[in-house]
Amino acid sequence: MADRAELLEAALDSLPEGIAVVGPGGDVAFWNGAAEAITGCPALELVGRPVSDWLDALLASGAPSDGQPEPGRRNLVHIRHRLGHDVPVIVRTLPLRDGLGESIGAAAVFHPAETLDALPHGRGGPAEASQEQLEERLQMEFDDFTRGGPAIGLLWIGVDQAPCLRKTHGAVACEAMLQKVQQALRQGLRPTDEIARWGEEEFLVLCHERTAPMLSAHARNLAGQARTADFRWWGDRVSITISIGAAQAQPGSDESLAQLLDSARRAMAASSSAGGNRVTPDPEAAPCLPS
Which DSSP string do the residues of 164-185 spell out, in sequence order?
HHHHHH-HHHHHHHHHHHHHHH
Residues 6+ apart with CB under 8 A from 196: 128, 129, 130, 131, 133, 134, 203, 204
| CATH 3.40.190.10 for domain 4-112 | no
Between CA 281 and CA 284 the distance in angstroms is 8
Q: What percent of the chain has pLDDT over 90?
A: 30
Q: DSSP letters of 80-144? A: E-TTS-EEEEEEEEEEEE-TTS-EEEEEEEEEE-TTTTSS---TTSSEE--HHHHHHHHHHHHHH
> Measuring CA to CA, which residue among 138, 158, 250, 139 is closest to residue 200?
158
Q: What pLDDT score was predicted for residue 260?
A: 94
Residues 6+ apart with CB under 8 A from 135: none
- Cβ count near 88 (within 10 Å): 12
Q: Over 90: is that where the pLDDT of 162 sits?
A: yes
Q: What pLDDT score was predicted for residue 57?
A: 67
> Measuring CA to CA, which residue among 256, 261, 287 is closest to residue 274?
287
User: Greater confidence, 54 or 33?
Assistant: 33
Does an H or E element contain 6, and which? helix 4-13
Q: What pLDDT score was predicted for residue 291?
A: 47
Q: What pLDDT band is residue 15 in, cutting at 50, 70 and 90?
A: confident
Q: Over 80: is that where the pLDDT of 80 sits?
A: no
3-state SS of the chain: helix, strand, coil percent to 5?
Answer: 35, 25, 40
Between CA 218 and CA 208 the distance in angstroms is 10
| CATH number of 127-280, picked from 3.30.70.1290, 3.30.70.270, 2.140.10.10, 3.40.50.300 | 3.30.70.270
Residue 59: strand, helix, or coil: helix
Residue 10: strand, helix, or coil: helix
pTM across the whole model: 0.57
For 69, counting Cβ atoms within 10 Å of its Cβ (0-12 exposed, 13-18 middle, 19+ buried), the class is: buried
72: left (phi over 0), alpha (psi -120 to 50) or beta: left
Residues 6+ apart with CB under 8 A from 28: 20, 21, 22, 46, 47, 48, 49, 50, 51, 55
Q: What pLDDT score was predicted for residue 270?
A: 94
DSSP β-ladder status, 28-31 and 242-248? unpaired
Between CA 173 and CA 171 the distance in angstroms is 6
Residue 26's alpha-carbon distances to 55, 104, 173, 288, in angstroms, are: 11, 10, 51, 41
* Same topology between domain 4-112 and domain 127-280: no
Mean pLDDT for all residues in the chain: 81
Domain ranges of the chain: 4-112, 127-280
Length of the chain: 291
Q: What pLDDT score was predicted for residue 107?
A: 87
Residues 60 and 50 sit within 8 Å (Cβ to Cβ): no
Q: What percent of the chain has pLDDT over 70?
A: 84
Residues 91 and 61 sit within 8 Å (Cβ to Cβ): yes
